[in-house]
């Protein structure tokens, strides 16, 4: 189960999405047409995937900046 404080934070952050989802769910129950609910969910999943991908790219870029020799072959020295 998710921490109640985290759940409240997520609810506030995504209030618009959740309100829209609730409205669509009520309409779906009344009409037995779940397509708009599924479309709404697909939109948020695509948005999250895109943001996750961007975050991963940003982290990779930051990691490269922290280690400028990343990707270079190790050097050896002779005595």
Q: Where are the domains of the chain?
A: 4-55
Pair 38, 28: CB distance under 8 Å: no
- What is the largest distance, in Å, between two alpha-carbon atoms of the chain? 82
Is the pLDDT at 73 greater than 90? The verdict is no
Checking phi first, is residue 77 left (phi over 0); if not, alpha (psi -120 to 50) or beta? beta
Assigned token pair, 43? 């939109």
Assigned token pair, 18? 């959740």
Q: What is the pLDDT of residues 18-55, one digit of tens each?
A: 999 999 999 999 999 999 999 999 999 998 998 887 77
**pTM (2 decimals)?**
0.60
Pair 18, 11: CB distance under 8 Å: yes
């Amino acid at each position: 189960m998710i921490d109640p404080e985290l759940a409240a934070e997520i609810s506030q952050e995504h209030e618009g999405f959740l309100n829209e989802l609730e409205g669509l769910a009520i309409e779906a129950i009344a009409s037995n047409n779940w397509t708009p609910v599924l479309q709404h969910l697909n939109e948020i999943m695509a948005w999250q995937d895109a943001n996750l991908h961007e975050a991963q790219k940003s982290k990779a870029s930051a990691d490269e900046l922290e280690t400028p020799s990343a990707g270079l072959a190790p050097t050896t020295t002779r005595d």
